[in-house]
Structure 1
């Protein structure tokens, strides 16, 4: 695919952190307004952009986590949250995204006295402002929110109630995030049971930094609608009698390995088969997974094998600022390094739209009225198998 084709293609984004996608220029400007510019590691926007990416690529977890200190610092007021949310919408629309679910943790935005409700209302207002700006310019995008609870904290039940309270006012669902090891999703079982009783949608970060037990608990104990990342599901897949990890390590110098592997040699374990059979969506984020060592390279990222095996794969960004990425860039990397085509991008886009946390008729309207015509205009109108 050519970069211009990738950018123009209608895209759907399900896994994108609001506090991981700020414009460096906005961070610098908002920090200067507080008189605390000396707290930034770099004083200018371009230098700051480079620092974020260097820190995320460093392999140091403390340094990676420090990046969020600087984004969250400017998201503690209603004006700051509204601006960041508005710019998020504008940036996604400029990248060809026509529907997105942006997630953030309300509990992380209370340092300057905002209430949880004020945080949600400020972000929602920013999203609506951004949508209006895009529409005025002749574009089209819809952005909803996912309210995230931090798995190492104890506010998940409260955040779940908040998600239900605002589900008819811009909030599409609920999520938990944070370190998986030592903080299993079952610690928050009361929140998930409440959401299920309320017929509410939720996704769970699982199978990124921890393996199959995290995925199993998220699905079988907690009832997750989707898996945030889920990349470690390949731990339950073997190729030619070898574990996926061993097979990929053996073929690490062959960038065509996953494109050319004989699928008749692939075996799925019980959990992997269940995830595929039940069409549980995987919110996969290739560049982010390279930074966290969940994958060796774009060419050998599990997303390509899982796509070929017809798992319900979706393509996402995770943290656009920290990874220096966009959804178009993620698609272009897969095209350049893993042989993805426009047909593949269309397939994961429709997968994502099918898996979104908005009503069925609204999802169908975007698939039939925006996504399919958009790809037809780019020269591909075939039907994907999902």
Structure 2
């Protein structure tokens, strides 16, 4: 691109259409003194050809193409053809003095503003500047929407690869899971990994939304999955993941994580809760335990010493892992769904498998909040058999 062409495109660009040479020349000189690039045409065909070959910030169109006529029909017929080429291009029409009805009809057909002849120079400049600023603002907003739409598509692709495509098959454990993003891309994460005859399970809630949260979640997945495949001890796993997250996160960003390793043969569940919602362990006899011990959220304290705890996980016991979108789902009275409802639903479905229990809980939570979740909602159900 030549220097002169680049300079012209950087200047506000106005396309002026009028069949009077004196009018065109007067407007050209006026706009030139104010730093505008003006292109002039004197016929409808010239106007359309210029729009097809060039880029303009605004069109200044005389509605009366035939000298000394006032019908304006020539210009009105052009409006729809101009809009077909660029529906977002501002159109400022010029009418003869006293032709207010014509100006109103032009506005009804899509014109952005009007100027009456003989014109006032300051009014012309003010009108054009206002329309140019509005167009450029709208263009910037459209570009931002396009960028966000593209980014959301990329985030969705990243997000889809963060969840297991199918549940692992571990003898002695029935597994079901579901997740629902509050927005296009959520901040919840869960993963299950078979490690020998044991099962490693993790659920996490990443602070924030959008690209930063998605990248932090991807970092979590990349760090924790190899450790889960080895059946690494929960406290050691949380410490390693915490160190990795502290290296990449910024102030105010963190991850709440619950991680456990279940050994069906030994009938044990060893866990570490790093600032996550307590997991609910519902015993076969209906009693319940909140598994909350472990340590701080990941990403704040690089040298935190995490602790792990072991409980029995006998046949008939069920473990519920869930993020805030489940227990904090609100009804119209702003009442949370709550942990007690989760526990009671689990007791009422004592003989149900993991999938049936998960479906019953998700249906109940959805009904409670009338389908209007206030946060990402993830639920993992593990049943000892």
TM-score (ref. length: structure 1): 0.26
Structure (1 or 2) with the larger CA radius of gyration: 2
TM-score (ref. length: structure 2): 0.26
**Larger relative contact order (CA 8 Å, sep ≥ 6):** 1
Which protein is richer in helix relative to its size? 1
